[in-house]
Structure 1
Amino acid sequence: MTPAVLLALLGLIDASFSGFRAHAGRDARIRKHRATARAALRGLAVGAVFLLAPALTAALALFTASDRAEMFRTLAAGGLGYLVPLALYAAVVLVSLAAYLTLPFRASTLAVVIGLGPLTLLRPLAIAAACLGALLNGGGAPALLVGAIAGAAVLCVEPTVHRRWYRHVQ
């Protein structure tokens, strides 16, 4: 699998979680599986649309380059550099999520408080590290541009879903 496919999958999963976070805490019902699934799907849909921006930026860079093969190698190297910090971040999130889902109530609450909560706040830093990784791995300015647009896209999903569907929900 190419870095682009893995990054797209990671972005879509993140978008789904963003939709969930936009809805979380806004529904006092005990059984809210449908509402939670709907929120995650809304995040996924918004994320899919937003992630078209970096894909189109990469395609534009590729098709306007004088040496397309070299641009492809540059973007692939940048994509790999972008993927490494995000994969590490995603692994830590998965461990926290697994702890939340499998541990008893008190321990799972602790997993949210010391794991998932702070990790959500660290998302912009993880994206900044990914942009730096894209640059340092040989992606140069084109990969940095695509990475910055991708980072902005995933960070905009949660506020967009919140404003569109959950702003007035109480």
Structure 2
Amino acid sequence: MTPAILLVLLGLMDASFSGFRAYAGRDARIRKHRATARAALRGLAVGAVLLLAPATTAAIVLLTASDRAAAFDTLAAGGLGYLLPLTLYAAVVLVSLVAYFALPFRASTLAVVIGLGPLTLLRPLAVATACVGALINGGGAPSLLVGTIAGAAVLCVEPAVHRRWYHAVQ
């Protein structure tokens, strides 16, 4: 499996969580499963559209390269370097989510306060680290370009969903 497929899946999962975060705290109802699922789907849809930008950039890099095989290898190396920091970040988020869902109420609240809250704030740093990883792993400027566009795309999902569907909600 190429790093690109894993990166797309990771980006779509992040987009879904971003949609949820755009909605979270805006509704005082106790049973809001449908609304949170709708918010996650909205994030997924916006993320799918925004992730077309790095996919198009990668396609342009490949199509304009004089040696397409070498360009593909460079992008694959950069993708692997991009994937490694994000996988570590996603693993820590997953541990926090498991703690949130598995622990009793007070402990799960603590998991949100010391885990998920700060991790949300560290997302831009995780994306920047992934861009550096793409560059260091041999991806060069093309992988850095694609990675930067991908990072900007996933970081724009939550504000886009908030602005489109939840801005007027007080």
Tell me the TM-score normalized by structure 2.
1.00
What is the aligned partner in structure 2 of residue 164 from structure 1?
164
The 5-angstrom pairing of residues 53-132 of structure 1 reads 53-132=53-132
The Cα shift of 1:153 comes to 0.1
What is the aligned partner in structure 1 of residue 37 from structure 2?
37
The 5-angstrom pairing of residues 123-162 of structure 1 reads 123-162=123-162
* Code of the aligned partner of 1:7: L
Over the aligned positions, Cα root-mean-square deviation in angstroms equals 0.3
What is the aligned partner in structure 2 of residue 50 from structure 1?
50
Separation in structure 1 between the aligned mates of residue 3 and residue 63 of structure 2, nearest angstrom: 19
Query: How many equivalent pairs are there?
Result: 170
SS in 1 for 2:31: coil
Q: Name structure 2 gaps, 5 residues minimum.
A: none
Deviation string, structure 1 residues 98-146 (Cα, Å, up to 9, x no partner):
0000000000000000000000000000000000000000000000000
* Code of the aligned partner of 2:12: L
Separation in structure 1 between the aligned mates of residue 56 and residue 167 of structure 2, nearest angstrom: 30
* Code of the aligned partner of 1:143: S
SS in 1 for 2:111: helix
* Code of the aligned partner of 1:162: H
* Code of the aligned partner of 2:166: Y
Q: Name structure 1 gaps, 5 residues minimum.
A: none
SS in 2 for 1:135: helix
Tell me the TM-score normalized by structure 1.
1.00
Query: Displaced runs of 4+ in structure 1, greater than 6 A?
Result: none
Aligned-residue sequence identity (percent) comes to 85
